[in-house]
Structure 1
Amino acid sequence: MQSDIDAIWLTLKLALFTSVLLMLIATPLAWKLSRWQHKAKNLVLAVVALPLVLPPTVLGFYLLVVFSPNAVAGELWQLITGEQLAFSFAGLVIGSLIYSLPFAVQPLYASFLQLDNRYIDVARTMGMSKWSRFRRIIMPICKPAFMVALGLSFAHTVGEFGVVLMIGGNIPGETQVLSIALFEHVEAMEYGKAHALAFGLLVFSFLLMALLYRYNRNGVTAWKS
């Protein structure tokens, strides 16, 4: 029971860290892509969307190679922190950032593309700085997209399995998230415990998606009116 509670706490912490960091990364990236006109744009968009179609075990394997103490990134991390990056919470965060990146970028990118540039032009003629235009004009208009991106990133991180298993293993209290704990219960034929975790994840995912769709619908309706 305690191990399941630890797994719940670790999963929520990982999802919170990942979704907040993703918003800081995805927002400028999506904005730049929406305004960028270059022949390499489609290539960048393909790279960003790659985790959507790439098998999680493939991504997890190559991340594990990069995180290895024998690799430059893994060796540098170990020199700075004194700990290895693979099979650590920090490694889970980095892996989750990469794996969930398209779920944060795509809603924002689509919203920025649909943004009416007249609002930005008017704000520019009024002497507003770039940051003021973004904070006071763009963010309020695109607020539903921000909420969807945040919610999808959080939900996707909660449900991760393949990537976290490859780069984090199954260390209770360290890298054992809910999906791994559920898998362990099934392997041990503890179907009652597995059902409790699975049903909880099902209800959580359904409620979160229902709230996101409701909020996004209301946001769009309010904006059109």
Structure 2
Amino acid sequence: MDESFASTMALTFRLAFVTTLILLLIGVPLAYWLATTRSRLKPLFETLVSMPLVLPPTVLGFYLLVAFSPESSFGGFLAEAFGFRLLFTFEGLVLGSVIFSLPFMVHPIQAGLQSLPASLSEAAQTLGKSKITTLFRVLLPNIKPSLLTGIVISFAHTIGEFGVVLMIGGNIPGQTRVASIAIYDEVEALNYDLAGQYALTLFAVTFAILLLVYLVNRNFLRRM
């Protein structure tokens, strides 16, 4: 196996894994809040979460590029205060990927929580359970298909990112060159064999994980 191919694929899956883990930690409480809140600000937050679904990736990538730049207030603060740089780094890719894939984690979990009967939460509260205990001990176990869907789709979506990661990460081998960018590069260089290897690997992985979601969800519904 070509060393650059292995390095690129390892970086791609590392990015997808880290991004999905962070999204899970952020997405569960955010989805719970959106599913239960009566705040007038709910439509505003739902709009912000959903923006990556309709916003062209290059537009989001451009604004992140400007924000992460050392010349911007945010990027300059990180560089001066912590010596931390986001532009053209793996950490920048992670942050950009989290923002870009946020709706793919939040929406399935929010929909799952909203589909549960209110009596579940009410019964738990009657028994003196806190909101956190109710969420993790009562609600989440009853929406396992939604959780799995959010995790898998977020992982698969991160693997296929192109516009955002190219804008903020560039194309640095071993650091920010993920598989989607590598395919573009190899096609431009007329190296269709290597481009085909990248494409086939991504196709096989995304097909397998999506098939797993459908099989697990079907078995879960049969047991209900």
TM-score band, normalised by shorter chain: over 0.9
Q: Give the whole-Å Cα distance in 1 for the aligned partners of 2:205 and 2:159.
A: 10
The alpha carbon displacement at 1:80 in A equals: 4.1
For the residue of structure 2 that corresponds to 1:87, the secondary structure is coil
The alpha carbon displacement at 1:218 in A equals: 2.3
Match of 1:208 in 2: 209
Q: Deviations over 1:109-154 (max 9, x none)?
A: 1011111121221122222222222221111101111111111111
The count of corresponding residues between Structure 1 and Structure 2 is 223
Q: Give the whole-Å Cα distance in 1 for the aligned partners of 2:102 and 2:56.
A: 15
Q: Give the whole-Å Cα distance in 2 for the aligned partners of 1:113 and 1:21.
A: 23
Match of 1:55 in 2: 56
TM-score by length of 1: 0.95
Of the structure 1 ranges 197-206 and 90-99, higher mean CA displacement relative to structure 2 is found in 197-206
Match of 1:109 in 2: 110
Amino acid at match of 1:23: L
Amino acid at match of 1:146: L
TM-score by length of 2: 0.95
Match of 1:85 in 2: 86
Match of 2:12 in 1: 11
Match of 1:124 in 2: 125
Amino acid at match of 1:53: V
Q: Give the whole-Å Cα distance in 1 for the aligned partners of 2:200 and 2:22.
A: 28
Match of 1:25 in 2: 26
Match of 1:64 in 2: 65
For the residue of structure 1 that corresponds to 2:17, the secondary structure is helix
Q: Deviations over 1:57-88 (max 9, x none)?
A: 00000000000101122112212442421100
Q: Relative to 1, partners in 2 of residues 1:122 and 1:83: Cα closer, same or farther, differing over 3 Å? A: closer
For the residue of structure 2 that corresponds to 1:27, the secondary structure is helix
Amino acid at match of 1:160: E
Q: Give the whole-Å Cα distance in 2 for the aligned partners of 1:114 and 1:84.
A: 42
Q: 1:42-191 to 2 correspondence within 5 Å? A: 42-191=43-192
Q: Give the whole-Å Cα distance in 1 for the aligned partners of 2:54 and 2:221.
A: 29
Of the structure 1 ranges 72-81 and 187-196, higher mean CA displacement relative to structure 2 is found in 72-81
Greater than 3 Å deviation, 4+ residue runs: none
For the residue of structure 1 that corresponds to 2:215, the secondary structure is helix
Structure 2 gap segments, 5+ residues each:
none
Amino acid at match of 1:116: P
Q: Give the whole-Å Cα distance in 1 for the aligned partners of 2:98 and 2:75.
A: 17
Q: Give the whole-Å Cα distance in 2 for the aligned partners of 1:168 and 1:120.
A: 43
For the residue of structure 1 that corresponds to 2:129, the secondary structure is coil
Amino acid at match of 1:186: V
Q: Give the whole-Å Cα distance in 2 for the aligned partners of 1:39 and 1:213.
A: 36
Q: Give the whole-Å Cα distance in 2 for the aligned partners of 1:199 and 1:121.
A: 49
Q: Give the whole-Å Cα distance in 2 for the aligned partners of 1:198 and 1:81.
A: 38
The alpha carbon displacement at 1:207 in A equals: 1.1
